[in-house]
A and B are shown apart, each in its own frame.
Chain A
Amino acid sequence: MKPRRPVVEGYFEERADGSVVLVGGRCDACGAYFFPKRFSFCRNPGCGAPGLADVELSTRGVLWSFTDNRYAPPPPYPAAEPFEPYGVGAVTLEAEQMVVLGQLARGTDVSALRAGQLMELCAEDLYETDDAVFRVWKWRTA
């Protein structure tokens, strides 16, 4: 079996027990969260503290909005042949007071979704090469 790798380093982790978490940054000085972490410092202009701690973000949130993509995006999206449409959801994390985007899990019926419903994090294959399967975080209905 091919090894599993995240599609991008440092954004999320899959654990041996099957759980998935997004990894962001948190400022110890003001409490702000950042996803992705991107930089080593806090971007709150009233703070600007030099360090951000790695932090696991909430794995559940409420759906802010959603859509689907019915046509293949341009590169660098690793679109399968034939193209497989996918949903996209924007989910509000309560503790972090931020919205995080993700594809919707395969098989999600976009027409049945409603803003405000509970969603939870999961991970699925995005694409594979000869050497590895690349994984990505997704939102699914909880």
Chain B
Amino acid sequence: MSEVVVLGAGMHPWGKWGRNFVEYGVVAARAALADAGLGWDDVGFLAAGNTMRNGYPGYVSGSTFAQALGWRGTRVSSSFAACASGAVAIDSARAQIQAGRCDVALVVGADTAPKGFFGPLPGVRPEDPDWIRFHVLGATNPTYFALYARRRMEAYGATADDFAAVKIKNSRHGLENPNARYRKAFTAAEIAESPVVADPLRLVDICATSDGAAALVLASAEYAARRADRDRHVRIAAISTVTPRYPNTYLDMPDIATDSAVGAASPERSFRDSIAHAAYEEAGLGPDDLSLAEVYDLSTALELDWYENIGLCAEGEAEALLRSGATALGGRVPVNPSGGLACFGEAIPAQAIAQVVELTTQLRGEAGGRQVTGARVGLSINQGLFGHGSCVIATR
């Protein structure tokens, strides 16, 4: 399969703007089209990521954005894979291009998020694990993040200072990102004053919920080769949207128990490891090839898990890698040069797309004060609840 090329990238700044999510998506889509020097009528396919909290238009995001941009008979897809929705939308667009069904595809994700904890959809639904974990156990998203964080402390000796160091690093990175919601450099003293939400995590360790939108214009390699702006082209070398392999014995949201390892051989890799592995296999690249990574820092501690999952270091060594400065801007492989979720907050269907916008910006050398010098290969990764993997490798 030939690689698909990113011709355009655009965003609506993250924040708590309180407007209809379609407004943000259209801003991002038009920005991506303008960046590509193309118009909506050049788009042969529109792939969008769904939002669950904005009524029916959010469930049919593809047609919602097609109508908002002006009906042109464009074929659409609407994907939901929780936090991985954006990656599934990118994959859907890529498949259409690779199948020869269109030359140019537009990918859009946008959200208007509620304040505070994410809750399940309303109603009484004891058959829904997402409802059960809230009703029976009061197990919020931060509950799971805190369990993972405490596990790092118990298993590998991570400390609250390590988690704070992730926050400090990412908050510095985000200062240079005009699309970030929070542009403030945190100090250790300020973090220590933040209230504990779920021990050991403080409010500032946990990502907020945000409004925002991101969009990409993708094209076939043949189409891209005919254009004059080839020095700005970024190639999608791999997209991984794998699900877990049975038995998945790591406690994942929203489940209240893992699979049992009785009666089946355990998979070769953990689920999170397997997300990156599938992308590396497809790209023919490995962790040593990375110039930068955008990882899903739902919590500061989770960023450390990802270092190991994407192979930047061995299990249990993420804290040492962080302390070495390797993952800060100027280090060997900067992680979350965008500022990450720490500076953005989570706009669910837009987030995986926003990660690829950052890869694109970095690989083009257009990231300004947060530019990773000489960036050649970037990886973005995240995980959506209910077993959705999401990983993209982009190269220039």
Contacts and interface: CB of A to CB of B under 8 A. Distances in A.
B257 A98 contact: yes
Contacts of B355: none
A68 to B, nearest CB: 5
5 closest A-B pairs by beta carbon, nearest first, are A74-B119, A30-B263, A67-B146, A115-B154, A97-B261
B228 interface: no
A22 to B, nearest CB: 9
Interface string B278-314: 0000000000000000000000000000000000000
Interface size class of B (residues with CB under 8 A): 35 or more
Contacts of A119: none
B52 to A, nearest CB: 14
Interface stretch (B1-9, B40-48, B137-145, B317-325): B137-145
Contacts, number: 150
Interface string B174-205: 00000000000000000000011111110000
B138 A65 contact: no
A25 to B, nearest CB: 10
B99 interface: no
B150 A65 contact: yes
B158 to A, nearest CB: 12
Nearest to B123: A76
Given A47-B263, A71-B117, A98-B249, 5 more contacts: A67-B147, A67-B149, A76-B120, A90-B147, A103-B138
Interface stretch (B128-136, B345-353, B372-380): B128-136
A43 B198 CA distance: 32
A75 B130 CA distance: 12
B20 interface: no
29 contacts: A8-B126, A9-B126, A27-B263, A31-B262, A32-B259, A32-B260, A32-B263, A32-B264, A36-B256, A46-B264, A64-B147, A65-B147, A65-B148, A67-B146, A67-B201, A69-B138, A69-B198, A70-B196, A74-B119, A75-B122, A75-B134, A79-B138, A90-B251, A97-B249, A99-B251, A101-B256, A101-B257, A115-B150, A115-B154
Nearest to B146: A67
